[in-house]
Amino acid sequence: MKGGDAAALMAVAFLKRMGFDPKGSVLLSYLCDEELGGRYGSKWLAPRGYLDGDFGICMEQTDSRILIGHSGMFRIYVIYHAPAQHSARPHTKKNALEKAVIAINALYTYRDQVVRKKKDPIYESSSLEITMMNAGAAPNVHAAEARFAIDYRMIPSETLEEVSRAIFGILDALKMADPDMDYEYELISDRPGLSVDEKSDIVRACKEAYEEVTGKPAEVFYRHGGSDAATIQKFNNIPMPNWCFAVTAYVGLPDERFDIDDYLLNIEAYMLTLVKLMG
Give the pLDDT confidence score for residue 37 in this predicted structure. 80
pLDDT of residue 205: 98
Q: At residue 16, what is the residue type?
A: K
Per-residue pLDDT, 35: 78
pLDDT given at position 245? 96
pLDDT at residue 1, rounded to an integer: 81
Q: Are strands 124-125 and 119-120 parallel, antiparallel or unpaired?
A: antiparallel
pLDDT (0 to 100) of residue 255: 87
CA-based torsion, 253, 255, 262, 52: positive or negative: positive
Q: Which amino acid is at 245?
A: F
What is the pLDDT, as a whole number, of residue 122?
93
Angle, CA 221 vertex, CA 167 and CA 24 arms, to 5°: 100
Instruction: Assess contact for 138 and 48: CB atoms under 8 A.
Output: no
CATH 3.40.630.10 correct for 2-70+195-278? yes
The Cα–Cα gap between 267 and 279 comes to: 17
**pLDDT number for residue 252:** 79
Helix axes 260-278 and 201-214, enclosed angle (nearest 10): 130
Residue boundaries of the structural domains of the chain: 2-70+195-278, 73-191
pLDDT at 66: 98
By C-alpha distance, which of 191, 197, 221 is closest to 75?
A: 191
Q: What is the pLDDT of residue 266?
A: 98
Taking only the tens place, the pLDDT of each residue in 110-158 is: 999 999 999 999 999 999 999 999 999 999 999 999 999 999 999 999 9
**Residue-by-residue pLDDT tens, the chain, 279 positions:** 889 999 999 999 999 999 999 999 999 999 888 877 888 899 999 999 999 999 999 999 999 999 999 999 999 999 999 999 999 999 999 999 999 999 999 999 999 999 999 999 999 999 999 999 999 999 999 999 999 999 999 999 999 999 999 999 999 999 999 999 999 999 998 989 999 999 999 999 999 999 999 999 999 999 998 899 999 999 999 999 999 999 988 887 888 889 999 999 999 999 999 999 999
Residue by residue, DSSP assigns the chain as -HHHHHHHHHHHHHHHHTT---SS-------S-GGGTSTTTHHHHGGGTTT--S---B----TT-EEEEE--EEEEEEEEE----BTTS--SS--HHHHHHHHHHHHHHHHHHTGGG-EETTTEE-EEEEEEEEE-S-TTB--SEEEEEEEEE--TT--HHHHHHHHHHHHHHHHHH-GGG--EEEEEEEE--EE--TTSHHHHHHHHHHHHHHSS---EEEES---HHHHHHHHH-----EE----GGGTTSTT----HHHHHHHHHHHHHHHHHHH-
Q: Does domain 73-191 have CATH number 3.30.70.360?
A: yes
Among residues 247, 204, 242, the alpha carbon closest in space to that of 66 is found at 242
Cα distances (angstroms) measured from residue 110 to each of 16, 106, 117, 178, 180: 55, 6, 10, 19, 21
pTM (predicted TM-score): 0.87
pLDDT at residue 97, rounded to an integer: 98
Percent of the chain with pLDDT over 90: 88
For 92, residues 6+ apart whose C-beta sits below 8 A from its C-beta are 83, 85
